[in-house]
Structure 1
């Protein structure tokens, strides 16, 4: 008697004695929601992608531009695949203001492509409930400046709704874009004044 197994995400095919049987994997899939997927986009006006990229590729410098008070290196070199950063102190839409919990995550850089202005990272540990979180950031030149795109996917987060995650990323990315725009314009003005 031979037993062959072939599985996909929805079906299990058993081949026993030459008889193929396909069973829907309801029992295996029951209770598991599909991963949440989302995308946030923000525009940095009047600034080229070449000017924004050095800020984003500094993986350990996230707190300089993103609304998270702390971002420190854990291992590796900033901007090199495999490096890990520790980020803490950010607020989430589900925070209990009566508790003094500090939100934190450890994030690992998976890949980076400076020629395409893109990088991908994952959350490898944390206390905000993210499991199997992977995000890709990409810069896209526009006639008005630069668009920052933040694509993400994560297993459903206990106590959250997808809308909460979308709001969290939208607000964070828009605050970051504004801070980058103001910072680079201030730097440009200072350089003009200095010369």
Structure 2
């Protein structure tokens, strides 16, 4: 494993993916809003973009509170409407996820007008917590997000 410069830290990679029963444009309309995750993700209580910047401005920072009261800050690093993708990093978090960078990308499944969604991240964490924190990110954030968007899209279609 590459060294992070943090004593006792290990690089972790988390990848989750799913197929949604909705066109890629419809899913992108929901997840593209970097400040909209409090409208669909069950872990996020509220969110705001700092300094009043637009939520699709590369470099903008969202400050949000989780349902458990934790506060986090993330920065939008890339956004591509052509590739249906964005990348962001964690700036502040009470969880020991260091050098955290995540990437979301949607792909059209053209034979049935579905969406393939891949969400991945890399981060450093204390060497005795890799499995715990990889599972927390993959299950509680990514998989829970997939389920929430799936439910959101079903409500929109009804």
TM-score by length of 1: 0.67
Note the alpha carbon deviations across 1:25-82, whole angstroms, 9 max, x for none.
xxxx8955442112111222x2011100011110011111222112222132101101
Matched, 1:154 2:123: yes
Alignment correspondent of 2:25: 50
What runs of 5+ residues in structure 1 fail to find an aligned partner? Answer: 1-8, 11-28, 92-101, 190-195
Select between 66-75 and 131-140 the one with higher mean Cα deviation.
Answer: 66-75
Tell me the distance in 1 between the aligned counterparts of 2:90 and 2:123. Answer: 10
Tell me the distance in 1 between the aligned counterparts of 2:48 and 2:32. Answer: 15
- Pick from 48, 66, 70: which aligns with 1:72? 48
TM-score by length of 2: 0.81
- Kindly name which structure, 1 or 2, has the bigger radius of gyration based on alpha carbons: 1
Larger RCO: 1 or 2 (CA < 8 Å, sep 6+): 2
Tell me the distance in 1 between the aligned counterparts of 2:141 and 2:26. Answer: 20
- The alignment's C-alpha RMSD in Å is 2.5
User: Relative to 1, partners in 2 of residues 1:123 and 1:141: Cα closer, same or farther, differing over 3 Å?
Assistant: same
| Contact 1:112–1:120 under 8 Å retained in 2 | yes
**Number of matched pairs:** 152
| Contact 2:9–2:126 under 8 Å retained in 1 | no
User: Relative to 1, partners in 2 of residues 1:128 and 1:171: Cα closer, same or farther, differing over 3 Å?
Assistant: closer
Select between 127-136 and 143-152 the one with higher mean Cα deviation.
Answer: 143-152
Q: Secondary structure at the match of 1:69?
A: strand
Tell me the distance in 2 between the aligned counterparts of 1:139 and 1:155. Answer: 25
